[in-house]
Amino acid sequence: MQKLSLDALAREHLERAAAGSHGRSATTVHGGHELVLRQTLLALTAGTTLAEHENPGEATVQVLRGRVRLTSGDTSWDGRAGDLILIPPARHSLEALEDSAVLLTVAKTG
Domain ranges, ordered by start, for the chain: 6-108
Over the range 28-66, which residues count as b (16 or more CB within 10 Å of their CB) and which as e?
Answer: ebebeeeeeebbbbbbbbeebebeeeeeebebebbbbbb
Q: What is the pLDDT of residues 14-29, one digit of tens each?
A: 999 999 999 999 999 9
Domain at 6-108, CATH from 3.40.1360.10, 2.60.120.10, 2.60.40.10, 3.40.1160.10: 2.60.120.10
Q: Amino acid identity, residue 61?
A: V
User: What are the backbone angles phi and psi of residue 9, rounded to the nearest 5°?
Assistant: -65, -40
pLDDT in tens, 97-108: 999 999 999 998
This prediction has a pTM of: 0.92
Residue 46 has pLDDT above 70, yes or no: yes
